[in-house]
Each structure stands twice: as structure tokens, then as C-alpha cells.
Amino acid sequence: MATPLFHDGLTVHTHSHDYPIVITEQSSTEQNSTEQSAMAQQIMPYITGRQVLIVTNETIAPLYLAALEAPLAKQFIVKVCILPDGEQYKNQTSINQIYDALMAEHFNRDVTLIALGGGVIGDMTGFAAASFMRGVNFIQIPTTLLSQVDSSVGGKTGINHAQGKNMIGAFWQPQMVLAEMSTLKTLPARELSAGLAEVIKYALIMDAEFLTWLEHNLPAMMALDLAVLGEAVKRCCQYKADVVAQDERESGVRALLNFGHTFGHVIETHEGYGNWLHGEAVAVGMVQAAELSQKIGWLTSEDVARIKRVLTLANLPITPPAIDVQTALDLMGHDKKVKHGQIRLILLKSLGDAVLTNDFDAELLTDVLSQHSSSERQI
Ligand code: NAD
Ligand code: GLY
């Protein structure tokens, strides 16, 4: 079995139950073997019943499904649901496909759903698990950097609505998270960069020292040094686990994890789901939030320049597409953080120190939203 990269294991403490995040790096023999699949062996102890539904997509299935499915099938009744690939399929139609697969097999409350994929598969599988028969177990096997550092941990599950990202969903915690670092070897470079946006996010909101660490280590991460990537995943998961333990349902500190997301969701929704990657939109959103923080007088111009440099080092965009200011404000009005009709944003008091606030001059926000790229698309 692949040895966990870290022996001081990570645990997420939540109201419903505690669960582990296991970070492993399996050998190439293990990767190609359907006999000794390390992934299957790691998750088996967390499957409580006899029924298993693996949910994945048509890109990931040819890469990792066989190595997971075959060893599990020796001990469990295993069925597979393969969804189309893409953010544009993060919708009710795909959720219905998962329900259909569960119903077709007469699966019941004993079933464990396994999300094998990135954040789209993880969010949808989790939502199907939260709602099927009022809630069944699920396990996250995140295969993108973004899902390893963020979406697989903390129990936010859901789908998009045509008018807003992640508008329909539930908090539903997995039984475990298995981040197998070698899956990143097949991840397209653009997707790796999108994941780096969420990694950089943790540094900007929580830990300026981690920002310095990233400035030194981003080149190794982009060259797929799995040990360095594993260290980053571990640090990010620890930040996230700490936040989730304090505020599982996002009534306070958890909102800070959405740094850059209100601006980013405007881009994703306006440009069409899937055209800008979530992490790319968040990268630009973090720049916009930093610019607003500077206009308020909290960040210096050098801080903002440093943020832009680190995002550029990770091959991420830093300039928004042209979106009419009123349209952007309307889209921001749908944000889940809006309270009493007021837009609330996560801004930076300093690098590593974020706040959720509505205490800013609306004109400063308008100024930030007015600045955009002159070309069609800057990604
Ligand atoms: P994704 O799930 O769309 O995956 C990106 C692409 O990479 C897809 O084409 C996928 O098929 C492919 N892929 C995945 N793993 C691969 C691998 N190992 N090798 C080759 N290709 C692979 O995107 P994502 O960036 O992982 O997740 C984005 C989603 O996560 C968004 O929907 C976002 O809203 C959500 N999200 C949720 C949370 C949360 O807390 N639940 C947090 C952040 C983001
Ligand atoms: N990705 C933000 C959160 O999980 O709260």
C-alpha cells in the first residue's frame, strides 16, 4: 500500500463526525496495477456497507477507474456512474444521473458514494450523497490540486444554477479524503495553475510566511515535484481543517476562505461556466479584492504588486475580462454573503490577515470593477 507522505495525520473535526485526510504518493507499479491499488486499500476501511457507487467523469475514468474499481469489486458490489466532463455539467441533470444509477441498482442507505475526480465531481457526488435517501456516506478522492487543497475538505457540496455558482447544495461531510499526489501527473498544466490560485489564497488570507514559502517553491510545484506539492497540500488542508472545525456552516471565519470568490464568481457566471476555470477567476478576483483593499488604505501598492507577481509566477491571469459595472454589481448581488441587501467582501487588512466587511465606499468598488482588460480574454 502507498505510504502516507505524512505520518502526523490530518483530521477534520465537524459536528457530524471527525474524518481523516490522507495524503499519499503511490509508486508507478501500484498506479498501473489493478491488484495492488493503493487508492482502493486506503479507502476500504471507510466503506461501511456492501454497496459502492463510484462517480467519475469521462476524462478521469480511463486514467484511474480500473485501478480503483477492480480491487473494490472483490469485496463490495461496485457500480460506476460516468458523467460528462465540465463545469457546465455541474447541474441537476448530472445529479439525476447519479440518482438514476443508485435507483437502477436498488442501492439503499448502506451505499457509499466515491467521488473520483476534481471539484466538479466531488461537489456533485457529495450533494447526491447528502440528498439520496436523506443522506448516505461518501468518500472524496480528489484528483486535481484545487480539489486536494480545498473542495474535497469541509463538506460544501452542490451544483450551479444558471444565474449563480454553487447556488443549490448542502453541507455534507465525507467519511475520508484521500489525496493521491501522483494523480497530478496527468493533470493539464492550466488546471494545476488553477489549483495554485487556491493555494495562494490560503497564504494571502492566513499566513504571510506561507506566501514567502510559495515564492520559493512555486517553480518546483509547477515542475510536478510531488513531495513539495504534498507539503503544500498538507499545509492548505491543515488551514482548512482548522477553519472548518471553528465554523463548519460558515457563520463567521469560514467566509474568509471565499477571498476573491465574489469577484471571481462574477467572471465565471458572466463568461459562461467552464470558459474561465474556477481558479483563474479566483486569481483575478483576489487581485480585485487586493486593489479594493489598497484603495481603502489597508494594503500598499507593493503588497498588490507582490500578489500579482506570485499569481503570474503560477501562470495565472491577473486582469478581468470586460464586464459592465452594473452587470457585475447585479451578479454580486446574488452572492451568498449578501446580507440585508449589502454586498460583503473579503478584503485584506494586510498580507495574511483577511476580514469580511461591508464597510467600504461603494465608489471604490465601482472603481475596481471599471478596470478591465482591453482584449477579449486575458487567460
Ligand atoms: P474540475 O473538477 O472541472 O477538474 C478540472 C479538469 O481536470 C476536468 O476536465 C477534469 O476532468 C480534469 N481532471 C481531473 N483530475 C484529473 C487528473 N488527475 N488528470 C487529468 N485530468 C484530470 O475542476 P476543479 O478545479 O478540480 O474544481 C472546480 C470546482 O470545484 C468548481 O465547480 C468549484 O465551484 C468547486 N469548488 C468547490 C469548493 C468546495 O468547498 N466544495 C471549493 C473550491 C472549488
Ligand atoms: N472553498 C470555501 C469553503 O470551503 O468554505
Q: Is residue 239 part of a domain?
A: yes
343, 262 in Cβ contact below 8 A? yes
Q: Does residue 277 share a domain with residue 358?
A: yes
Q: Does residue 126 share a domain with residue 14?
A: yes
Residue 31 has pLDDT above 80, yes or no: no
pLDDT of residue 7: 60
Instruction: Give the H/E segment covering residue 275.
Output: none
Between the CA of 183 and the centroid of ligand 1 the distance, in Å, is 13
User: Which of these ranges, 26-30, 177-181, 204-208, 279-283, has the smallest mean pLDDT?
Assistant: 26-30
Q: Is 151 in the pocket of ligand 1 (CB under 6 A)?
A: yes
Task: Provide DSSP, 308-359.
Answer: HHHHHHTT---SPPP--HHHHHHHHTT-TT-BTTB--EEEEEETTEEEEE--
pLDDT band for position 138 (cuts 50, 70, 90): very high
Q: How many domains does the chain have?
A: 2
The question of whether 265 is a catalytic residue gets the answer yes
Burial class (CB in 10 A: 0-12, 13-18, 19+), 134: exposed
The predicted model gives 182-211 an average pLDDT of: 98
The domain in which residue 289 lies consists of 234-370
Protein residue with least CA distance to atom 2, ligand 2: 257
Residue 183 has pLDDT above 80, yes or no: yes
CATH of the domain at 365: 1.20.1090.10
Q: At what angle do helices 278-296 and 261-271 cross, to 10 degrees?
A: 130
The predicted model gives 199-210 an average pLDDT of: 98
The question of whether 261 is a catalytic residue gets the answer yes
Q: Does residue 157 share a domain with residue 17?
A: yes
Residue 282 CA: which ligand is closest? 1
pLDDT of residue 373: 59
Q: Does residue 260 share a domain with residue 165?
A: no
pLDDT band for position 38 (cuts 50, 70, 90): confident
Q: Is residue 1 part of a domain?
A: no
Which residues have any ligand 2 atom within 6 Å of their CB?
150, 154, 156, 254, 257-258
pLDDT band for position 323 (cuts 50, 70, 90): very high
256, 269 in Cβ contact below 8 A? no
Residue 287 has pLDDT above 90, yes or no: yes
Among residues 201, 248, 258, 268, which one is catalytic? Answer: 258
| 240 CA: nearest ligand 2 atom | 4
The question of whether 161 is a catalytic residue gets the answer no
pLDDT of residue 2: 65
Between the CA of 76 and the centroid of ligand 2 the distance, in Å, is 32
Between the CA of 143 and the centroid of ligand 2 the distance, in Å, is 17
Among residues 79, 270, 278, 372, which one is catalytic? Answer: 278
Q: Is residue 32 part of a domain?
A: yes
Q: Which residues of 310-339 are buried (b: 16+ CB within 10 A; e: fewer)?
A: bbebbbbbbbbbebeeeebbebbebbbbee
Percentage of the chain with pLDDT > 70?
92
CATH of the domain at 130: 3.40.50.1970
Q: Does residue 267 share a domain with residue 156?
A: no
3-state secondary structure of 164: strand
Q: Is residue 37 part of a domain?
A: yes
Q: Is residue 203 part of a domain?
A: no
Q: Does residue 338 share a domain with residue 262?
A: yes
Q: Does residue 179 share a domain with residue 312?
A: no
Q: Is residue 225 part of a domain?
A: no
pLDDT of residue 274: 72
Residue 39 has pLDDT above 70, yes or no: yes
Give the CA distances from residue 78 to residues 69, 70, 81, 124, 376, in Å, rounded to whole numbers and listed in that order: 7, 9, 10, 19, 46
State residue 193 phi and psi, 5-degree precision. Answer: -60, -40
Task: Decide which of 125, 152, 186 is a domain's last residue.
Answer: 186
pLDDT band for position 316 (cuts 50, 70, 90): very high
pLDDT of residue 27: 67
Which residues make Cβ contacts (< 8 Å) with residue 4, sequence separation at least 6?
A: 22, 23, 24
152, 142 in Cβ contact below 8 A? yes
Between the CA of 142 and the centroid of ligand 1 the distance, in Å, is 8
| 255 CA: nearest ligand 2 atom | 5
Q: Does residue 244 share a domain with residue 161?
A: no
pLDDT of residue 28: 64
User: Which of these ranges, 28-32, 164-168, 308-312, has the smallest mean pLDDT?
Assistant: 28-32
Q: Does residue 168 share a domain with residue 251?
A: no
The question of whether 25 is a catalytic residue gets the answer no
Q: Does residue 177 share a domain with residue 33?
A: yes
- pLDDT tens, residue by residue, 228-271: 999 999 999 999 999 999 999 999 999 999 999 999 999 988 99
Only one residue has cell 489525496, namely 179
Q: Does residue 37 share a domain with residue 167?
A: yes
pTM, two decimal places? 0.94
Q: Is residue 294 part of a domain?
A: yes
